[in-house]
A and B are shown apart, each in its own frame.
Chain A
Amino acid sequence: MSEPVIRVVALGKTYPTAVGDFPALRDVDLTIEAGEFVAIMGPSGSGKSTFMNLLGCLDTPSSGDYFLVGRNVAHLSRDELARLRNRTLGFVFQGFNLLPRMNLEDNVSLPLVYAGIDRRERRRRARSELDRVGLGEYAGSLPSRISGGQQQRVAIARALIHSPSLILADEPTGNLDSQTSEEIMALFGALNRDGITLVLVTHESDIAAHAARQVRFRDGRMVSDQPTPKAPATC
């Protein structure tokens, strides 16, 4: 429990645009310990997705350092970054991002293909992850045949397949109705109780209320970092 899962130091990201460099993220310092559940909030355009993409090793920072489980990712090759995305963390997108022509089982087990795991084992693990998110019976269906909430659960199963220590989710409930959102959040809650570190972006405070810690962004800066207030249940 010594090494924080995430430690960012003076992290910044600027995008080159037609009118000059645009600083989407400035000087962010943040440490997240193993087992935490952190919600990231902030208005649109405040840099939340930019930050998540950096955490997910999908993008590279313009300045500052990012230590993922103690390793400075700036020093890693493209292949090593791919390996981190494959095994160390799982990313859940707002738009699910399942491959439309593959059935659910193949979608869930795809990360295992890139890890060189054999077919039998892939199948076994994909089934067990699908069971875990309650969709075992749909293993052979195509993503287009199930609802959005179900698709997001499949995406979560895919993120979980390598038993990562960290799950990053950028507005995972952004495309879902509130009922379904609650089901997804319940699933995340259960995963967190199993010890998985969770970082989740949301616009909605009742979603953020599931997290133990809330971080706010504004104009590319981190403006607050507090434990979730123990609010009386209002809804």
Chain B
Amino acid sequence: MLRAMLGEAWQAMGANRLRTALTMLGMVIGVGSVVLMMAIGQGAQYAVAQTISTMGSNLYIVISGSTSAAGLRSGGGGGPTLTVADAEAIAELEGVVNVAPVHQGTQQLVHGANNWSSTVVGTTPPYLDARAWTIVAGYPFGDSDVRSATRVALIGRTAAENLFGTDDPLGQTIRIRQSPFVIIGVLGPKGQNLDGRDQDDTVIIPLSTAQRKVFGTPFVGSVRMIMVQATSAEAMPAVERDMTALLRQRHRLREGQDNDFFIRNLAAAADSAAETTRVMSVLLGAIASVSLLVGGIGIMNIMLVSVTERTREIGIRMAIGARERDILAQFLLEALMISIAGSLLGLALGVGGALLTNALTDMAIVISGGSVLVAFAVAAGVGIFFGYYPAHRAAALDPIEALRHQ
């Protein structure tokens, strides 16, 4: 029975090839664009998730405001308000795992005849843990390096490639502001951060060395920022509250006085970046779905025309014993076959388009079985939904009226 009906539906599709092909084209474009857009959207989400995972989790950055000589706080100029002692105090708070004071800036790195401008980060050992940064060769510096301000450096992949090419950077010496630094470790690759900056274009050195030899500092023990890692996402609000109270107390701020520091929640920034790409990918999908809808309406249109054209045929079928459900099934099957054939082609087109996009641009593309399945189910749904009304119209015809139709 089903086989006979499939054969008939196939025949009916073949009877007007151009029309069937054009109707199918609507579905091809609809499904193709949904698959492509979902691939791009999910690719973007994947890329952001990748980036976020390189950032380190549950992080806060406490950034110092600045004081002028008159004790007024302003956005720029003046010395930093945070100190290494502040960092040590924060480390004592409950819910805090890693605290690292950070002093960073862009500096020229020199090795032999090569020089390269890179981000130099002066910090303490917990920084690497907070950022989940691995050492792929050599070893990290320790607290004793910070205490005695040794001139050692950890180098990121991009900086290493630009200074040493294919040579092994371990044990080599680079100069930063005339001071020689020995490279004792090579950092694992991280890629871009959320702002699009290359995180591997960096050199990490002990904080004390950075302040004495590289950046200089208005007074000893002050820092521009402190990186704080909470034990968990749940612990973050409490940590932020305690940190604010602690710093206000340490900085002797009176009730009503503004904070002389900013706390930036990197986890929240990551969440909002992830949310943004999620919204973007939903939007892309929604826009693509409109074309699927248009394709569905095309099917409905053609099926209505087909029912009208074949009214007499329907009458004949009823006269020899076709029940309503037989006629319904016949037209539904036709709509379904058009939409499924269209979606198969669309699927191929969408996947092909996604691979091409990936090959021609450096956009990340994710084609998940889920999205393919969804596109397919939606297409079948579209076929049934838009095919139902015409099929129902056909099935509800009166046999004698249908037979009289010219």
Contacts and interface: CB of A to CB of B under 8 A. Distances in A.
Q: Is the interface of B mostly helix, strand, loop or mixed?
A: helix
A176 to B, nearest CB: 19
Given A53-B400, A113-B4, A119-B4, A91 B320 contact: yes
Contact of B320 (A53, A59, A85, A122): A85
A116 interface: yes
Contacts of A98: 316
A119 B4 CA distance: 8
A84 to B, nearest CB: 8
Interface of B: 1, 3-5, 8, 11-12, 15, 313, 316-326, 398-400, 403
A53 B401 CA distance: 11
Given A79-B323, A113-B1, A114-B323, A99 B313 contact: yes
Nearest to A96: B316
Contact of B321 (A53, A83, A122): A83
Contact of A111 (B8, B321, B403): B321
A115 interface: yes
13 contacts: A56-B319, A58-B400, A59-B398, A79-B325, A83-B323, A91-B319, A93-B403, A99-B317, A101-B12, A101-B15, A102-B8, A102-B11, A114-B320
Contacts of A86: 320-322
Nearest to A87: B321
Contacts of A113: 1, 4-5
Interface string A112-144: 011110010010000000000000000000000
B159 to A, nearest CB: 73
The 10 A-B residue pairs with the shortest CB-CB distance in the complex, in nearest-first order: A86-B321, A59-B400, A82-B323, A114-B321, A58-B400, A111-B320, A58-B399, A97-B316, A113-B4, A85-B321
Nearest to B8: A102
Nearest to B323: A82
Contacts of A119: 3-4
Contacts of B326: 114
A58 B403 contact: yes
B403 A101 contact: no
A78 B317 contact: no
A147 B31 CA distance: 47
Nearest to B11: A101
A191 interface: no
Contacts of B398: 59
Contacts of B399: 58-59, 85
B321 A82 contact: yes
Contact of B319 (A79, A97, A115): A97
A98 B320 CA distance: 11
Nearest to B398: A59
